[in-house]
Amino acid sequence: MSSLEVSEEVRQYLKTPTFDNWQWEDAEIMVLLQVMYTDLDFISTFNIELDVLQQFLYEVYRRYNNIPFHNFKHCFCVTQMMYGLIWLIDLRSKIDSIDLLIMLTSAVCHDLDHTGYNNAYQINARTELALRYNDISPLENHHCAVAFEILEKSESNIFRNLPTEQYKRIREGIIKCILATDMTRHTEILNKFKAILPVFDFSNKDHRDVLMMIMIKVSDISNEARPMDVAEPWLDCLLQEFFNQSDMEKLEGLPVTPFMDRDKVTKPSSQTGFIRFVLFPLFIELANLFPCLEVRTFLEDLTRIISSAFHPTPLLLVQKRHFKDSNGGLSC
């Protein structure tokens, strides 16, 4: 299957937060990623050869490990949510195409060669990554490095036809976005965003940079913003990866990460604090900038779910209403 063979119905479905990744095989997912680059006009705008894009996506696929959560399907889900948000809030009319390219490519690359063990483990175990990056976001720095290893090869460098200055801008942007996915920086980045919201200016580069970081953060933790039948299997995958880490920490005599301990954590308890203190505040602030993202109406349901500790919350991120843009698409 090539991108030309993807139906219009699938192309439109690909733009929605309800997209179900579990219906697609990895080979099909690679085609869908190609569709995203094509339908956002990156191929023509940035002179990306199709065979180079395909080789880039193949190299990306190869560098995601076969682990329960931070795998190639997770890469796709994060990228698909980013892609859907770009269309939903009509970012194409608000920021430059080069920033959209940075955001989508950052999502594709954001967890390259993830080991399945988080930064706390890397640092406590004094792994090669922790030593290399001096305990500073070892995983995220590694994801960036692997991304640019792929892009250093001419046959997989989708930016190879760009002027040096554009490449530098893209490299800087991708590094900023991927490093922003380190959850230890969550409060810092969210507070920056909240501070500029009252005076947000799309022509201000600093403002755009913070928005791009918020966008990849939202996309990265967006599983709970999907329908229950899509979201819940991902929670099972995440808990399996968490439990694998805590088992290893116990085996090696390292501090055991409390929210990963299989002897203490349940599915509901693993989600209540995360939803209340991480996911919901982040989505609320993005909706403050883009009112077409309706999040607030789910507050009562969310409170009930947290109180009853029953299931992960269903669709949090939905369209408040549809507005047709000049191209017939959906926008704020």
| 114 tagged catalytic | no
70 annotated to a ligand binding site: yes
186 annotated to a ligand binding site: no
247 annotated to a ligand binding site: no
- What SS3 state is found at 70? coil
72 annotated to a ligand binding site: yes
- Residue 221 CA to residue 78 CA, distance in Å, equals 8
Nearest to 283 by CA among 85, 114, 109: 85
Nearest to 138 by CA among 189, 182, 102: 182
- What SS3 state is found at 319? strand
74 annotated to a ligand binding site: yes
Report residue 284 as tokens: 């609320």
- Residue 66 CA to residue 63 CA, distance in Å, equals 10
Q: Note whether 319 and 294 are within 8 A (CB).
A: yes
DSSP state, 181?
A: T
118 annotated to a ligand binding site: no
Count of alpha carbons within 13 angstroms of residue 119, beta-carbon side: 19
143 annotated to a ligand binding site: no
For every residue of 184-243, DSSP letters joined together read GGHHHHHHHHHHHGGG--TT-HHHHHHHHHHHHHHHHTGGGGS-HHHHHHHHHHHHHHHH
The one catalytic residue among 70, 114, 142, 143: 70
| Residue set of the binding site for AMP | 70-74, 111, 220, 271
Active site residues: 70
| Binding-site residue set for Zn(2+) | 74, 110-111, 220
Q: Which residue ranges make up the annotated binding site?
A: 70-74, 110-111, 220, 271
